[in-house]
Amino acid sequence: MQYDLIVIGSGPGGYVAAIRASQLGLKTAIVERDELGGVCLNWGCIPTKSLLKSAQVFEYLTHASDYGISIEGNAKPDFKAMVERSRGVADGMSKGVQYLLKKNKIEVIQGTGKLTKDKKVEVTDSKDKKSVYEAKHVLLATGARSRQLPNLPQDGEKVIGYRKALTLEKQPKSMVVVGSGAIGSEFAYFYNTIGTKVTLVEYLDNIVPLEDEEVSKQLGRSFKKAGIDVKVSSEVTSVDTSGKSVKVNIKNKKGKEETVEAEIVLSAVGITPNIENIGLEEAGVEVENGRIKVDEYYQTSVKGVYAIGDIVPGQALAHVASAEGILCVEKIAGHHPEPINYNNIPGCTYTNPEVASVGFTEKAAKEAGYELKIGKFPFSASGKASAAGHKEGFVKLIFDAKYGELLGAHLIGANVTEMIAELVTARKLETTGHEIIKAVHPHPTMSEAIMEAAAAAYDEVIHI
């Protein structure tokens, strides 16, 4: 069968691209070797948020007295039930993707897809039967997997990746989490909250090291206050899995070494793009630094072959892959979409407190040569935050002093992952600080802190 577009991979990049292509009148098929929805929906974004919600509810119960509520007996986490709930949420979302693909008349081809020399798509099913499909355009959206370090090999039992961390049969009594990006920090928060003794190891000087330094330091303080043993400027040099527990050898930048024993080690040191065995060499698709080279519309070095998501340069985030997929197929369909501004991509970490950011950090803005106006507003001065019992954190806004342009926004606190979209939109519309100040925000809300932070940058703040 001849298609206009075949998409290989049904994650948040692939399935979204396929649906948009169908909306634009392209006859589309999608190839998937595992569950529809990809890693994000089945083994990443969605099930982790389910576990984190369980942890949050447990936190509320254990602090019920802070809200004037008395609970008979002690609340206890049911780890197995939490995991089962998260799997149920993921399964429901996967069925939702299946419905959307059917609704949009997209053919789902089950199997492992691979480019051939003549730009066709060869699909091998579960019985090793091979079928060849033709399309005018082929979009690669094969995603990524947990990165493995030579000194931290994953055995799936004592040293695990994020996928296994979602489906452990029993709650470990102790855990060492290596890497404090979004994945590592979220799992550290989850397991610590439900009673696992957690040690978090980060090679760089602060946890969540891509965030603004003030935010990173605040989350570090919050984690330590919650009982997480945070070790920054440290690296895991080796692990010994020969005994009942895992012995983790850790060395800090001063050369001091220590050994931490734990039931399980979670390696959360990033991801590796899935670019092997998908026919790149056969088709002549160019790769650079482990990722597929593309132009601003995701065309590879081979005409008619495109790539999006974790396998191309840029932030490895679900919403980035979705945006890239939509833009790519709109270009294929003859539209004239605007290329993505990768400096206006929001990042979110769903710990407690949450972290959300967009644009330049203070350090990056200074290095870029901007003269800055910076405004901060603490949630301790927010009426809504006080009423909700979430006074931890702040909003930090960075403006260009010359023109008032919003260069960056950095938030840490309750529900800030829901608040960041306002600031992404503001930057997209080239909104100035004064316009944010004069945009009336509802009271009492957490989002008032955005207006107040903007006002603080211009010495107009009222409530601090």
400 labelled ligand-binding: no
Output the pTM of the full model: 0.95
The whole-number pLDDT of residue 368 equals 97
Q: Residue 389, by phi and psi: left (phi above 0), alpha (psi -120 to 50) or beta?
A: left
Task: Determine the distance from the C-alpha atom of residue 169 to the mean position of all C-alpha atoms in its chain, rounded to a whole number.
Answer: 25
Q: Are 138 and 113 in contact (CB under 8 A)?
A: no
At 374-396, the pLDDT tens digits run: 999 999 999 999 999 999 999 99
Q: Where does the pLDDT of residue 119 fall: very low under 50, low under 70, confident under 90, or very high at 90 and above?
A: confident
The set of residues, in sequence order, having a beta carbon less than 8 Å from that of 93 and lying 6+ positions away, is: 37, 41, 42, 46
283 is in an annotated binding site: no
Residue 430, annotated as binding a ligand: no
Q: Is the peptide bond before 378 cis (omega within 30 degrees of 0)?
A: no
- Count of beta carbons in the 10 Å neighbourhood of residue 424: 16
Annotated binding residue 310: yes
Average pLDDT over residues 276-283: 96
Whether 6 and 14 have beta carbons less than 8 Å apart is answered as no
pLDDT digits (tens, 9 = 90+) for 231-253: 999 999 999 999 999 999 999 98
Does residue 185 have a known ligand-binding role? yes
Q: Determine if residue 66 is labeled as part of a ligand binding site.
A: no
Residue 40 has pLDDT above 90, yes or no: no
Average pLDDT over residues 257-285: 96
Residue 230: name the closest of 264, 209, 201 by CA: 201
Residue with tokens 């702040």: 394
Strand partners, 175: 198, 264
Report DSSP letters for 152-216, one per residue: B---SSSEE-HHHHTS-SS--SEEEEE--SHHHHHHHHHHHHTT-EEEEE-SSSSSSTTS-HHHH
3-state secondary structure of 302: coil
The DSSP secondary-structure symbol of 432 reads B
**From CA 257, how far away is CA 417, in angstroms rounded?**
37
Strands 144-146 and 130-140: unpaired
Residue pair 121/31 in contact by the 8 Å Cβ criterion = yes
Q: Is 301 annotated as a binding residue?
A: no
The residues carrying an active-site annotation are: 443
Whether residue 181 is annotated as binding a ligand: the answer is yes
The secondary structure of residue 6, as a DSSP letter, is E
> Phi and psi for 232 in degrees, rounded to 5?
-100, 170
- In 3D, which of 299, 287, 309, 224 has the Cα closest to residue 40? 309
Taking the C-alpha atoms of residue 224 and residue 206, their distance in angstroms, rounded to an integer, is: 13
Judge whether residue 1 has pLDDT over 80. no
* Tens digit of each residue's pLDDT (9 = 90 or more) over 289-330: 999 999 999 999 999 999 999 999 999 999 999 999 999 999
Q: Of 82-91, 146-155, 374-383, where does mean pLDDT reach its minimum?
A: 146-155
CA–CA gap between residue 40 and residue 129 (Å, rounded): 28
Q: Pairing state of beta strands 2-8 and 130-140?
A: parallel
CA-to-CA distance for 382 and 56, rounded, in angstroms? 21
Establish whether 184 is an annotated binding residue: yes
The CB-side HSE value for 370 (13 A sphere, CA atoms) comes to 22
What structural domains does the chain harbor?
A: 2-146+272-342 (3.50.50.60), 159-269 (3.50.50.60), 353-457 (3.30.390.30)
% the chain with pLDDT above 90: 94
Q: How far apart are CA 127 and CA 451, in angstroms?
A: 59
Q: Is 433 annotated as a binding residue?
A: no
